[in-house]
């Protein structure tokens, strides 16, 4: 497999030489671990069985897990709104946009936006909603400029983790890395089916995807928990240093 592609040597140590010096530090010849690492030995059916258990646990305990997600998200710094339905969610977004006084917003292309007619509600306010999808008419650069000019970035959640109050985003076609990062305010819409209980659950599901997708992980996996923050000057907390200062999370209930 090592021949695949391969990296040209730019003045570093050739791979085999580097590895053999590591081996000599370890005092042995090339060898796989004597006792194989259990996680790396799992087959696709093993992973599927565990994923099934995770889903089962989620179904059985969903109300509790959603409560935990809400609690942890608040602790993590999200402004959480538990929407009673789509109208309520849209109302929250509208009042947020109104209170921020923004006229340009940008949103990712995720399934949640197909479910609730947010675009029309915002457009009715006279607010521009730019969708992240490169078409013939939208170059990378113009999209980037639009994101930079936006006062609010809207995303769904590819997953959400109850353990930590985290929104997980996997940038790909239709989902820019920058929408949840560059505008000063981020609004994430989370559906109940996006939520998993623990970090371990999430990584198991990602591994299942990876292995069932012929080893394709996607280029980026991003966890967001609360606003951007720093305490680099005199250990004093400041929010909104390079990323959003204000983050909102609407948890949709059904």
Task: Give the number of residues in contact with other proteins, rule: CB under 8 A.
Answer: 93
Question: Which of the stretches 53-61, 69-77, 95-103, 116-124 binds other proteins when contact is defined by CB under 8 A?
Answer: 69-77
- Between 125 and 231, name the residue whose CB sits nearer to other proteins: 231
CB of 103 to other proteins, least distance (A): 20
Site for other proteins in 23-42 (CB under 8 A): 23-27, 30-33, 37, 39-40
3 state SS of 26: helix
Site for other proteins contains 136 (CB under 8 A)? no
3 state SS of 113: helix
Residue with tokens 């591994």: 207
- Between 25 and 136, name the residue whose CB sits nearer to other proteins: 25
Residues 6 or more apart whose CB falls under 8 angstroms from that of 129 comprise 105, 106, 107, 118, 119, 122, 123, 154
Pick from 162, 111, 153, 112: nearest CA to 129: 153
Site for other proteins in 231-250 (CB under 8 A): 231-236, 238, 240-244
> Which H or E run includes 238?
strand 238-239
Q: Residue 22: what are its φ and ψ, rounded to 5°?
A: -65, -45
- Packed helices 199-212 and 44-76: angle between N→C axes, nearest 10 degrees: 140
Site for other proteins contains 137 (CB under 8 A)? no
Q: Residue 207: what are its φ and ψ, rounded to 5°?
A: -65, -40
Site for other proteins contains 57 (CB under 8 A)? no
CB 167 within 8 A of CB 224: yes
- Per-residue contact track with other proteins, 92 to 131, x per CB under 8 A? ----------------------------------------
- Per-residue contact track with other proteins, 167 to 206, x per CB under 8 A? ----xxxxxxxx--xx---------------xxx-xxx-x
Question: Which of the stretches 72-80, 83-91, 112-120, 151-159 binds other proteins when contact is defined by CB under 8 A?
Answer: 72-80
Site for other proteins in 138-157 (CB under 8 A): 140, 143-144, 148
CB 118 within 8 A of CB 156: no
Question: Which of the stretches 63-71, 83-91, 110-118, 228-236 binds other proteins when contact is defined by CB under 8 A?
Answer: 228-236
Site for other proteins contains 44 (CB under 8 A)? no
Q: How far apart are CA 61 and CA 72, in angstroms?
A: 16
CB of 41 to other proteins, least distance (A): 10
- Between 29 and 114, name the residue whose CB sits nearer to other proteins: 29
Lookup: tokens for 8: 């040209």
Pick from 83, 101, 84: nearest CA to 189: 83
CB of 124 to other proteins, least distance (A): 27
């Amino acid at each position: 497999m090592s021949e695949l592609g391969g990296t040209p040597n730019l003045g570093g140590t050739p791979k085999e030489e580097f590895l053999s010096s590591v081996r000599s530090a370890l005092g042995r010849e090339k060898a796989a671990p004597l006792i194989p690492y259990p996680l790396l030995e799992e087959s696709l059916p093993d992973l599927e069985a565990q994923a099934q258990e995770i889903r089962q646990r989620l179904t059985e305990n969903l109300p509790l897990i959603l409560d935990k997600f809400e609690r942890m998200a608040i602790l993590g710094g999200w402004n959480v709104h538990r929407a009673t339905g789509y109208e309520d969610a849209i109302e929250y977004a509208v009042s947020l946009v109104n209170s921020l006084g923004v006229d340009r917003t940008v949103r990712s292309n995720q399934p949640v936006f197909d479910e609730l007619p947010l675009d029309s509600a915002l457009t009715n306010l006279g607010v521009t909603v730019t969708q992240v999808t490169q078409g013939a008419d939208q170059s990378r650069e113009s999209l980037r400029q639009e994101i930079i000019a936006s006062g609010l970035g809207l995303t769904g959640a590819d997953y959400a983790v109850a353990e930590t109050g985290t929104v997980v985003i996997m940038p790909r076609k239709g989902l820019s890395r920058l929408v949840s990062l560059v505008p000063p305010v981020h609004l994430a819409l989370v559906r109940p089916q996006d939520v998993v209980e623990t970090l371990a659950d999430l990584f198991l599901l990602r591994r299942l995807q990876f292995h069932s997708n012929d080893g394709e992980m996607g280029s980026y996996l991003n966890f967001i928990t609360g606003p951007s923050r720093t305490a680099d000057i005199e250990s004093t907390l400041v929010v909104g240093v390079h990323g959003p200062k204000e983050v909102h999370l609407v948890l949709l209930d059904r």
